[in-house]
Structure 1
């Protein structure tokens, strides 16, 4: 595989809906979307834990993190903004590692929260680029490994 197969990530995210972590009393579109954002934040916390204490679970944690993000994209009908060409992926892989993983996670949170509260699709897209680059560069997860994990599901 020479590219991250985003379409397969989106398909798997649609097929495997996750249970919500919070009790849902309101079933408005905004609340349902908010639950998807919370689910992404939980997946992010699981990824942070895997980075430090469970490297053997890193691929699965990163995959679930991507799926949670893709579920938001599917709900918002922003999935087309996740598509990446080979040049973009190559550019991500040629970037240097961030000096601070905590800063990267906080920037992701800031952008994702902005996409929720301000309905900002560009912040969402920027967060996606950071997420993909983080997996390829900082976590050193190969496209082949990621593709195999996605197809397992």
Structure 2
């Protein structure tokens, strides 16, 4: 019986980590979109598209209601936008999460993170100087994991 409880507990911890990762990814995407001071409707639309087409198909974890864990990126992005959060604080939160979970950030996860962040930056009139700065910082942080 103790073995089964341990297995269930491990599953719960993994689900929590998935939720946390996607919440932090939502903060990162907010930081990219808000880098120039405002979020365009195209950037918001791109975040929703990226979650639906890039993240959801690759994710198998769901919450207790059957919601794909990748949707937590959208939820967190919307919360950050509604509360007018500081994009630098959002970026720093993502970086702290990366530092705390280095071993989980394999090449595939680093690649998809960069890809989605770039797609958001490119979605409205291409990548501007401030967005490029955020992307460069992100790439530098992820490169430290190699």
TM-score by length of 2: 0.29
Larger Rg: 2
